[in-house]
Amino acid sequence: MKKMSVSIFICVLMVATVVSAVGTSDDSLKNIKINTFEKPFDIWLVNREITDSEMIPIEPSVLTTMNSPVEVIDQQQLTHCAKGAMVYPPIWVAQGFTPTLERLTKVTVYFFKSGMPPSGVTLTVHIRASLTGGNLATLSKDASEIPTSGAWVEFDLPDITVIPDNTYYLICHTSGGSIYDNYCWLLNINNVYQGGAAWESPDSGATWFLLDFPPEYPNIDFCFITYGLDESPDIPTIDGPASGKAEIAYDYNLSTTDPEGHKTYYIIDWGDDTNSGWIGPYPSGDEITKSHTWSKKGTYTIKTKAKDIYNAESDWATLTVTMPCSYTVPFFSLGERFFQRFPNAFPILRQLMGY
> Which of 118, 115, 129, 218 has its CA nearest to residue 169?
129
CA–CA–CA angle 250, 254, 256 (5° rounding):
175
Question: What is the average pLDDT across 304-318?
Answer: 93
Assess contact for 154 and 58: CB atoms under 8 A: yes
CATH class of this structure's domain 237-323: mainly beta
pLDDT in tens, 211-228: 998 888 999 999 999 999
Query: Hey, how many other C-beta atoms are within 10 angstroms of the C-beta on 247?
Result: 15
338 half-sphere exposure, CB direction, 13 A CA radius: 13
Residues 265, 256: Cα–Cα separation, whole Å: 10
Q: How many CB atoms lie within 10 A of CB 207?
A: 20
Picking from 89, 87, 59, the residue whose alpha carbon sits closest to that of residue 71 is 59
CA distance 112 to 92: 16
Confidence tier at 47 by pLDDT (50, 70, 90): confident
pLDDT at residue 35, rounded to an integer = 32
87 against 23, higher pLDDT: 87
Domain with CATH 2.60.40.10 in the chain: 237-323
Prior bond of 69 cis (ω within 30°): no
347, pLDDT greater than 80: no
Q: Which residues of 162-197 are buried (b: 16+ CB within 10 A; e: fewer)?
A: beeeebbbbbbbbebbeebbbbbbbbbbeebbebbb
Give the integer Cα–Cα distance in Å for 241 and 264: 24
pLDDT over 50 (residue 291): yes
119-174 pLDDT, tens digit each: 999 999 999 999 999 999 999 999 998 999 899 999 999 999 999 999 999 999 99
Rounded CA-CA distance 141/59 in Å is 20
In the 8-state DSSP scheme, what is residue 4? Answer: P
Q: What is the structure's pLDDT at 227?
A: 96
Q: Are 111 and 123 in contact (CB under 8 A)?
A: yes
What pTM was computed for the model?
0.70
Pick the closest to residue 93 from 190, 226, 195, 207 (CA basis): 207
Local structure of 355: helix, strand or coil? coil
Give the tens place of pLDDT for each residue, 249-279: 999 999 999 998 999 999 999 999 999 999 9
pLDDT at 288 over 70: yes
Please state, in angstroms and rounded to a whole number, the distance separating the CA atoms of residues 79 and 317.
41
Residue 333: pLDDT over 70: no
Q: b/e map of 108-119 (b: 16 or more CB within 10 Å)?
A: bbbbbbbbebee
- Residues linked to residue 269 through DSSP beta bridges, in sequence order: 275, 303
- Identify any residues that bridge with 302 across adjacent strands, giving them in sequence order: 319
